[in-house]
Every structure is written in structure tokens, then in C-alpha cells.
Structure 1
Amino acid sequence: MTVNSSFSSNDSLPDCLFTRPTSFFFITYYITNILLLLPLCILVLYLGLQRWQQQHSTSTAAAMTHSDSFTYHMVTMELVGVLGSIFGFCGVFVDRVHISWLGHFLWIFTWYGEMFFHILTCVERYLAVVHPVTYLSLRGERGIRIRNISIGCVWLLCVGTTICMTLKYSLVVAFCFLILSLIIVSFCSLSVLCVLIRPGPGEQGGDRERVDQSKRRAFYTILAILGVLLLRSSANLAWTVVHMLRESRDCSATAAEIWFNLPSSLVLPLLFLHRAGTLACCKNNS
């Protein structure tokens, strides 16, 4: 999903979508987005439904974690983005601008949703590692209430920011949220990495090697996530700044920029499947 089309006049999106060769890059992105995210999101929701049924059938089943809850909502938003890709592809393929615009609104909605849920996930990870006592106190009803309110606010913000794309200052709104996201994600992730580097209490004796291996895997995982999110934020921020300073748009840059958003769309679903031991490459290491 991309915010690019929302930051310009209403006639600029058709110029990019229906002008060759950029239309080819958009169509390729739509197809890739559908083929990668649709089965991934369906699998995550299927596993989530299985866990929910297990939780209601036995009292010994573990309760839903905050991270899993964010992931379920994230993949639901990704399905909205997949629907947007379908509309976008059909609009370009049959040369219908209004269909492409419908898909574009869905992309904007999902793009903001990705950013907000990545922020919530990074904050949750920060509390779990840097402030574990506070995090444990939020695993009860109070924490669940805060989590649900935060998720509700994200959905409302996505609706509001999508509507803002029709306003004059939509570019400024996106710029502010991108800066906020970059600051929060960087601070939370770097704080977690610093904690993982330092030796903790109880890392002595025979357990030290096991703890070191676990922390090393967590360190590389957080580092990879941070790299993907920084790539997404930096690419979109650079695009936003350039188009804030210029009246016209470079369709080639726009077509290239949307691809920087794809890796961040895959992060949370793949992490969920990794934790669930579903990924074939991770089953032996889970």
C-alpha cells in the first residue's frame, strides 16, 4: 500500500496508473501483493480461529497475547489492502479510473494501519523487555482494556487519515505520522537491542549458553525487524519530502516507492507463523 497518490491532485493518480511503462510496475505490485499476502493472512486467521476454539473448549489453553491480538488486526487490515490491490488491478486492466480510485482508498487505509500497528507492536516489545514488571501487570484485565482501546483508536485513525487524503494538507498529515513512527519505532527497538546486549541476572552456570543463544536469536530478529521498518519509513518519508517541495510527480519514483512497503507487510504475519512453528524452515529451531 502506498500513500503516494493521496498527496497530490485528483488527476495525478490516473496519470501514473494508466501511463506506460509505470502501469506495468503497478500491475506487477498488485499481483505480487495478492499472491504473497492473501494466503499468508488467511493462514494466520485460520490458526487464530483454532486457538480461539481451543481456548473456549479447555480451561488450560493460554490466553491471547497482546502481540497476537495486534497481528490478527494487522492481517485483517492487510486483507483490506489485498482487496484494494484487486480493485487496482481490475481498474488498470479494464481502464476504469473509478475502480482504481476505490482500490486506492483501501490502500491508504491499510498503509496507515500498518504504521500504527507496527508502533503498537514495538511499544509492546519495549515494555516486555525493558520494563518487564510493568508489562506483567498489563497482562490482566486492565492491560486487555488498554489494548482494546488502542486497537479501536487505530481503526478510527485509519478512517480519519484516509478521509484526510482528499484535503489540501494530507501531505503534511502523513509527514507528521511518518516522523512520529520513525521516532517511536527507533527508540523502542534500539532500547530492546541494548537490553539484549547487556548480560542479565541469572545468566550463570549451565544455563548461560542457552540464554545467550536465545538472546542472540532475539537480537537478530529485532535487528531485522528494525531494518525493515526503517526501510519503509525512510522510503516513504523521502518520497513525501520530495513531493512536498515539488508541484509535479515522477511516476517512475512513485511506482518504485510502493515496493518498499511490501516487506513491512510481511513482518508480523511471518513472526506469528514462526512463533506458531508453522514455517517449515523454522520448525526445527522453534
Structure 2
Amino acid sequence: MSLLHFPNSSLESGPSRCNNTDGSLIGLALISTRVFLLSPVSLFILCHGARRRRRSSTAMSHFDVFTFHHCVLELIWILGSALQFLGSVMELQVVSMAAVYLSSCIFPGETLFHVLTCLDRYLAVVHPVLYVSSRSSRGVSVRNVAVLGVWLLCFLFSCAANNLSSGIYFRLFSGFLTCSVLLMLFCGVSVLCALIGPGPGEKAGNQKLVDPTVLRAFITVSAITGVLCVWFFVFLVSSSVSSSELLAPNVSCVLEVSVLWFSLPCSLILPLLYLLRTGKLQCGHNGRDEGQERDSAIN
């Protein structure tokens, strides 16, 4: 059950505090849901992106690149799940530990790609000139460095999760989530101000037509920030209640495992937004790929 490694969680590596039947069933249901729901979506998005890349010589947007890496991260977690099962069945401790290191990077990795996506939408709306330059070869290099930095931080968090005590890692991860949420809230508020405020050359108080590209950017940032804020709030409440010793150990165990279900929307939000951008979730769509068109429109 260590595949869903989480601070202060009964699914953490090492001796599990959650060995009752209810907690195990809830955790198994969550793992099965993530595998059978997210693996087909991730593979479809990666295949669709590869086809788009072969058909068009236009550089991929930053949003698409972050989504692709997000899907790769999800597939790595699924690999960790398979290795964990194999290690448990064959009683191979080395394989089980490798699985723990692979799977424990999913939460920080997903959060960081969410942050990069919100920053990308923020630049596109609030600083369009800078955003245009970010799509040049130099901007692509900066983006690639940022993506490399995310993977490096995933590795560091994975090492910390499996080597630090639960209390230290809990504080580290809570601080990381707090900074991420605050940064995304800043992006959301800034995009909202650009949406409702007067544009260049317009006077305050004049009726303003809503820019659909800015509206799409606001919806994207709001959706990502919203699901992460809900998960963060539930996580903090659950952790506080569990550490207060007000609940029986078996009830605390079930609570800690159940809260991980709130991380599922965080894993789904970027793939769903990608599918909406490319028209794959629109019934009766004519099949035309809109992703690059909408990104160029926002400039």
C-alpha cells in the first residue's frame, strides 16, 4: 500500500499503520481506479501528441508539453504499482523499494506541472509580449530547463519521502503545497483582473466585451487551482484530526486513506483540459485540431 506515498499517511513506506480491512480496501480501490482510469487517458494523450507532432512542424505549446510530462509521470506511477505488486508476490525487497521511489514522486510532480501551467496562462494574459518571446527558441530552452527542474525536484522529494521522518516530511510537503497554492492563486487573481478590467486604451467603467481567449485562460487557471485547493484543505483537516489522537487508530487509518481520493481530480484536470482544448471531448466535433490555433489566438 505504499504506492500512494503521502506525508502522515498510512500508505507511506515502511511499517504501515493502516493494516485493517477497511483501509486496505479503500486504498486498493483507489489504486485500481487510478490505473484503469488514468492509464488509458495518459496513453491516448501521448499518442495524440505524437501524431500532431508528425503532422505539423509548428512547435508544441508550453501547455501541451506540461500535459505530456504530466502523463509520463502518471505512467511512471503505474510502473511503480506493477513493480510493487511483483515485489510483494515474489518477496523481492529491492523491487519493492524501487517501486516506492518511483511512485512517491507523483504528488510533487503533478503539483509542479500545475504551477507551470498556471504561470504559462498568466504570462499569456498579463504579459503577452513576454509570452510571445517565451515561444521563441530561447523561451523553449527556458521551458525545457523548468521541466528538467521539475523532474529533479521529483527525485529529491522521492528521496526525502523515503528517508526523512514522517513529521519532517509532513512539514516540508505542507510548505511546498502552501507555496504552490499561493502562486496559483496569484495567477488566478491576476488573470481575473485582466478579464474584468479595462483593456489598453479603454476607460474604466466602459462596457467591455469579454475576450474569449482570456476567459479560457481564467477557466484553466481556476480549474487547476480549485481542485488543488480542495485537496490541500481536505489534507490539512485530515492531518490535523488524525494527529490530535481524537479518533481511534482504525478510524484514523480509514480517514488518512480516504483523503487520497481527493487527489484524483488533481491527476485528471490537466488531461481533461488538454482533451477540451483539442476538441476530443466535444460530441460531433469535426476532428479539426484546435490546440495550436487557440494558443496562437491568445497572443
- The bucket for the TM-score relative to the shorter chain is 0.7 to 0.9
Gaps of 5+ in 1: 56-60
Shift of residue 47 of structure 1?
0.8
Task: Give 1:51's aligned residue.
Answer: 52
Task: Give 1:266's aligned residue.
Answer: 268
C-alpha deviations, 1:95-154, integer Å up to 9, x for none? 969576654433321111001111111111111111111111111011111101111111
Is 1:184 matched up with 2:199? no
Gaps of 5+ in 2: 203-207, 291-299
SS at match of 2:279: coil
Choose 182-191 or 224-233, whichever is displaced more: 224-233
**Which residue type is aligned with residue 260 of structure 2?**
I
**Which residue type is aligned with residue 173 of structure 1?**
L
**TM-score (normalizing by structure 2):** 0.78
Shift of residue 75 of structure 1?
0.5
Q: How far apart are the structure 1 equivalents of 2:241 and 2:90?
A: 29
Q: 1:116 aligns with which of 93, 112, 116?
A: 112
The two structures, once aligned, show a CA RMSD in angstroms of 3.3
Q: 2:277 aligns with which of 272, 275, 278?
A: 275
Task: Give 2:153's aligned residue.
Answer: 157
Distance 1:115 1:220, change over 3 A: closer
Task: Give 1:193's aligned residue.
Answer: 192
Moved over 2 A (4+): 4-13, 82-92, 94-107, 197-203, 211-226, 232-246, 280-286
8 Å CA contact retained: 2:228, 2:266: yes
Q: How far apart are the structure 2 equivalents of 1:218 and 1:134?
A: 16
Is 1:3 matched up with 2:6? yes
Task: Give 1:38's aligned residue.
Answer: 39
Q: How far apart are the structure 2 equivalents of 1:118 and 1:36?
A: 20
8 Å CA contact retained: 2:62, 2:143: yes
Choose 101-110 or 161-170, whichever is displaced more: 101-110
Percent identical residues = 38
**Which residue type is aligned with residue 151 of structure 1?**
V
8 Å CA contact retained: 1:117, 1:154: yes
Q: How far apart are the structure 2 equivalents of 1:189 and 1:68?
A: 20
Shift of residue 90 of structure 1?
6.6
Q: How far apart are the structure 2 equivalents of 1:120 and 1:187?
A: 13
Choose 214-223 or 79-88, whichever is displaced more: 214-223
Shift of residue 264 of structure 1?
0.8
**TM-score (normalizing by structure 1):** 0.81
Q: How far apart are the structure 2 equivalents of 1:106 and 1:239?
A: 25
SS at match of 2:114: helix
Task: Give 2:294's aligned residue.
Answer: none
Shift of residue 176 of structure 1?
1.5
C-alpha deviations, 1:151-198, integer Å up to 9, x for none? 111101100111001213222211210111111111112211222223
**Which residue type is aligned with residue 149 of structure 1?**
V
**Which residue type is aligned with residue 229 of structure 2?**
L
Q: How far apart are the structure 2 equivalents of 1:19 and 1:193?
A: 46
Choose 269-278 or 193-202, whichever is displaced more: 193-202
Shift of residue 82 of structure 1?
2.2
Choose 23-32 or 218-227, whichever is displaced more: 218-227
Task: Give 2:69's aligned residue.
Answer: 73
